[in-house]
Amino acid sequence: MKAIRIILWFTVAWTFCLAMLGAYVRLNDAGLGCPDWPGCYGRITPPQEHHEIAHAEKHFGGDVDPGKGWKEMIHRYAVGGLSFLLLGTLIAATRKRKELHIAPAILAAPVAVIVFQALLGMWTVTMKLMPIVVTAHLVGGLTLLASITVLAGRASLPQQTLALRNWVWLALAAVAAQIVLGGWVSSNYAALACDGFPACRGGFAPPEGLLQALHPDRQLGLTADGQALTINHLAAIHWLHRLGALLVTAIVGALAWSLRRSQPRWALLLGAALFIQLSLGIINVAFGLPMPAAVAHNGGAGALIILLTALLASTRSEKTHANISPELALAR
């Protein structure tokens, strides 16, 4: 039982690191480092020798960049490793499901998500970094992180009542929406579209073209009508993400403050994660998106997801607790 719990949290850590690795690949513009899937130019490793590169350029077209190819393939290898690790972990957890008090739906969720993630990874390449697909791939990775965290939390964290559980759900929904907006910023390469802070291009009103920029059915760099996106479109995307940051700060900050007496450790962790994430966002704008800060900003989103889902997994509402018999509550 102890080993299963350790492996579950190790899987959480692997998934968290994988999310940041995916961000690193995307920020290095290496998402198309391999134009095919699941291999790289028809190979299991990127071409490196001159004759291999010449062969790849002849059959696939374009210039071959072995460095970008390796970044993309290392990410794919890590995904494969996670798949095998998750499969073995779920098999072990299923055999001890009753002892771990895990519902079948919680066990099935990571499997469904990782299968869909594999499809999104393929579509990211075949659909040439279409923003809606890239954003969905990012959201899917953090959804996988959340589902595995719930699994680990239910299996290992002590259960307790929490009157503010509905507020935790609200905070999780706000963070999830902000992650979608962040993914839209990243997939449209709009991270530096607002040249200033806290104002965006010298003002606080939304730049023109917000609705066109949010249209999901369009290719990278184009509007739905096939026209090139302007700097105003990109700034509008970034402006909306900043607005979302204010909302998340208000909700998560209020939750952390409300938990300071009943759950001081959770309050401290949530407050610290929120502060670090906001600081990283400002650093990215002020210093021109330095790679360590940009990757860490993705990790900050993952950290908030882990904390909020683990808190939910370790608690139940007081109303639910009151409807459970003492014998069943003790068994849980």
| 135 burial type by CB count under 10 A (0-12 exposed, 13-18 middle, 19+ buried) | buried
Q: What is the DSSP string of 19-73?
A: HHHHHHHHHTT-TTSSSSSSSBTTBSS---SHHHHHHHHHHH-S---HHHHHHHH
Is 72 catalytic? The answer is yes
Q: What is the DSSP string of 62-109?
A: S---HHHHHHHHHHHHHHHHHHHHHHHHHHHHHHTHHHHT--HHHHHH
Which entry of 49, 57, 72, 99 is annotated as an active-site residue?
72
Helix (H, G, I), strand (E, B) or coil at 259: coil
Expressed in angstroms, the distance from the first to the final Cα of the chain is 16
The answer to whether the CB of 51 falls within 8 A of the CB of 41 is no
Q: Which residues are catalytic?
A: 72
